[in-house]
Amino acid sequence: MKKIYQIFYYNLSYHIIGFLTTTLILSLQIIAQTKSLNKKMEIKLSSSAFTEGEFIPVKFSCEGENISPQLQWNGAPKNTKSFAIIVDDPDAPGGDFVHWVIFNIPGDTNKLNENATGSTNLPDSSTIGTNGFGEKSYSGPCPPAGKPHRYFFKIFALDNVLNQLKSSTTKQQLIKTMQGHIIAKGHLMGKYQRLK
């Protein structure tokens, strides 16, 4: 009887080890696939005005012409129906401050020219939302004098078009509406500093 139990427990242990090994292998495969998917879902966003981590030229700030910089991107999924862009400053005294909200950029678009406004250099159907100044436009960096602030240009590829949104849409409303529809995203960070 003792030998029977030994054989039983041996077989049971063998199957448990086999099950755990198979589960571990499958888990590792899923993790690898997820990492690969996440890598594919990253959009490369860049600008002819500045590079990642560098200072944004005065021209695009409140001390200059206060116009939006040129932006271009690649790596978006083929099933992208529209893009949305948000520009914000997480270093603002009162917390995150929004400088630009734009959505319903056509899915076949891969750039925005300099000075993209409601009537100039903006693809058809694109809509500019409301920024932290309460304006339906781009408002460039305008930090208080002191340390440099970071400005994040964030792009989102969506699997739909947000026809339900209007130009009064804020960053928070846009993010809420985009939930479940973001299929890729990317960002570009530039700095700006006012000395006086």
Output the domain CATH number for residue 69.
3.90.280.10
Structure tokens, 3:
């030998």
Classify strands 82-89 and 97-106 as parallel, antiparallel or unpaired. Answer: antiparallel
Report the run of H or E that residue 35 belongs to, with start and end: helix 2-40
Query: 49 and 121 share a domain?
Result: yes
Query: 35 and 48 share a domain?
Result: no
Domain count, the chain: 2
Dihedral sign for Cα atoms in the order 108, 110, 111, 112:
positive
Query: 162 and 101 share a domain?
Result: yes
Query: 12 and 51 share a domain?
Result: no
pLDDT in tens, 112-144: 999 998 778 898 889 999 999 999 999 999 999
Residue 60 has pLDDT above 70, yes or no: yes
pLDDT in tens, 19-51: 666 665 655 555 544 444 444 479 999 999 999
State which residues form the domain around 34: 1-40
Query: 21 and 107 share a domain?
Result: no
Query: 30 and 48 share a domain?
Result: no
Query: 152 and 98 share a domain?
Result: yes
- pTM score of the predicted model: 0.79
Judge whether 183 and 77 are in contact, CB under 8 Å: yes
Query: What is the Cα–Cα distance from 137 to 66, expressed in whole angstroms?
Result: 10
Query: 98 and 29 share a domain?
Result: no
Query: 45 and 34 share a domain?
Result: no
Phi, psi torsion values for 125, nearest 5 degrees: 80, -15
Query: 107 and 158 share a domain?
Result: yes
Query: 75 and 22 share a domain?
Result: no
